[in-house]
Amino acid sequence: SGITLVYEDGLLSFIECSEKVNISGTKIGMSLKEIKKKLGKSKIIKFYFLGDDKPYYKLEYILNKRKVKFVRDYLEDRVIEIIVYRE
């Protein structure tokens, strides 16, 4: 289907998007530079997944009153995950 709905305590918490999903011209597999070119300025944030010592990077935007997070692979500059949150 292209999306996975994730619920916490019976309420929709966020939506994970697959390669099939296009959000404002962006999709999994693009570089952060390509995402910024499509969506505008955003600070690249370095972070770590719990229990993982490898750094990842993300961009966050507010699109249509929803927070959209683009997560970059730690090895190469390509987005591996797009997550949409309720604002």
Taking the model in full, what pTM does it have? Answer: 0.88
10-residue stretch averages of pLDDT, the chain, 87 residues long: 89 92 94 95 92 92 93 88 87
Question: For the range 38-43, what are the long-range contacts, defined as Cβ-Cβ under 8 Å and sequence gap of 24 or more?
Answer: 39/63
Between CA 12 and CA 6 the distance in angstroms is 6
